[in-house]
Amino acid sequence: MAALLAAPSSLFAAGASDYAIGADVSFLASAEERGTVFKDEGVAKPGLEILKDNGYNWIRLRLFHTPSNSERFPLPNDLEYTIELAKKAHDLGFKFLLNFHYSDTWADPSKQFLPKAWEDLTHDELVEAVFTYTRDTIVAFREAGVMPDMVQNGNEITNGMLWPHGKLPENEDNFAELVQAGINGVDAGRGNLPRPKIMVQVESSGNKAKTKRFFDALFARGVDCDVLGQSYYPWWHGSPLDLRETLNFMATEYGKEVMVVEAAYCWRPTEYTEHPGPFPETPEGQREYLETVHEILLNVPNGLGTGIFWWEPMVHIRPGSTGGIGSRGMFDDEGNALPVMDVFNKWTRGKVPQDAAEGG
């Protein structure tokens, strides 16, 4: 990537401690409860400690309204589970991004299912339900001592949320009301604590025009936020040059922080079995991918590239399983950390502790 990128004029927008080196670890507690052991350089450790040892300073946790479950793929991400995992991360000094899906199951550009509890509501009743649910959830985190540092009201909402009420492009006004209801719920629930940063996440990182249409329409309806989030999976979203063009445009056009809030690449052949990818699907290719995305963020104009989150580095390892999200994780089939794990060490390590420097 040397020819693509110039040296960043400044390392981070507001100092290294404010640059989000993050991971979505929503499955981590479930994986460890099911017996998965994660190892770094051959030493077994709790997953959060491995991340902390390798420079990570943020976690992201998704929340389902009433998680749907199946024997094959249980979804543990209810309020109680999420609060407990947030507490473990808080005790280790992590900052915390809370990701409301506003669904009982996965919400993404291809599906945004209403929670069953909300299926019969009118639009106005749904707006009120989003507000109340968000407010009460934030109160629960606040009272547990793990107030989120950032909140996103909806997951990958390029095509809207809470379908059919907030489906885009046909329901722009309804959609904006639903997003604003979630933001208002955060404000109502935080009490006297500082307001978490508000993120809006889309997944059009390879499409500048689509990104512009979405944010222009949202902002024109009076909805505001602090951080613009993108997902970047090359097999869906395009090349690193596409990513670079879109992120730079977002920062220049809107003057807001920009993050890649979902990033991942496979360490074994999975997505690029018939066509070449931008990097080999190998452990070293996976590492090169993360290094490249990080460098692109460091070069976003005006220091507005402020973080990256890997999507699910730590999931339950099923013996003999290949493909799927396990191939996008940061650990091999024996639970050993892959080379991608230590990408950020050179960026976060520096000053020698004073007693060590003095030989004490």
Q: List residues with catalytic annotation.
A: 156, 262
Q: Which residue has the tokens 């890649």?
A: 260
Strand partners, 161: 166
Two structure tokens written together for 213: 């249409």
CA 215, CA 256: separation in Å to the nearest integer? 12
Q: Which residue has the tokens 């290949």?
A: 322
How does DSSP assign 271-313, residue by residue?
A: S-SSS--SS-SSHHHHHHHHHHHHHHHHTSGGG-EEEEEEE-S
CA 297, CA 295: separation in Å to the nearest integer? 5
CA 123, CA 164: separation in Å to the nearest integer? 10
The answer to whether residues 147 and 89 touch, using CB atoms and an 8 Å cutoff, is no
| Helix (H) or strand (E) run with residue 241 in it | helix 240-254
How does DSSP assign 45-94, residue by residue?
A: --HHHHHHHTT--EEEEEE-SS----SSS----SHHHHHHHHHHHHHTT-
Region label for 223, one of left (φ > 0), alpha (ψ between -120 and 50) or beta (otherwise): beta
